[in-house]
Amino acid sequence: MFHRVAGLAAAVFIAVTSPATQAQTTPVKIVVGFSPGGGVDTLARLVAQGLAQAIDRPVVVENRAGAGGTIAADVVARAEPDGATLLLADTSLLLAPHIYPKVNYRMSSSFTPVAMVGDAGLALAVPASSPAGTLSDLLAMARKEPGRYTYASVGVGSMHHLGGELIKAMANVDLVHVPYKGGSPAVQAVASDQVSAAISSLPAVIPQADAGRIRILAVLGASRFPGLPEVPTVAETLPGFDATPAIFLLAPAKTPAAALEKVAQALPKVLAEPKLQEAFIAQGSLVRYQPADALAAWLPAQEQRWVDLISRAKLTFAP
Whole-number Cα distances in Å, 186 to 1, 178, 195, 245:
20, 9, 9, 18
At 306, the amino acid letter reads W
pLDDT at residue 101, as a whole number: 74
Distances (CA, A) of 214 to 26, 140, 199, 209, 221: 47, 19, 12, 5, 20
d(CA 12, CA 43): 8
Instruction: State which residues of the chain have pLDDT below 70.
Output: 1-24, 318-319
Coil, helix or strand at residue 188? helix
pLDDT at 21: 46
> Quick one: pLDDT at residue 318?
60
Report the predicted TM-score, pTM, of the whole model to 2 decimal places: 0.85
Nearest to 299 by CA among 77, 111, 170: 111
pLDDT digits (tens, 9 = 90+) for 181-219: 888 899 999 999 999 999 999 999 999 999 999 999 999
Q: Could you give the residue ranges of the DSSP H alpha helices within 1-157?
A: 3-6, 39-55, 70-77, 92-99, 107-110, 135-144
Q: Are strands 246-252 and 85-90 parallel, antiparallel or unpaired?
A: antiparallel
Q: How far apart are CA 189 and CA 187, in angstroms?
A: 5
pLDDT at 23: 38
DSSP reduced 3-state for 19 = coil
Q: What confidence score (pLDDT) does residue 196 get?
A: 98
* CA–CA distance, 261 with 252 (Å, rounded to integer): 15
Is residue 199 within 8 A of residue 220, CB to CB? The reply is yes
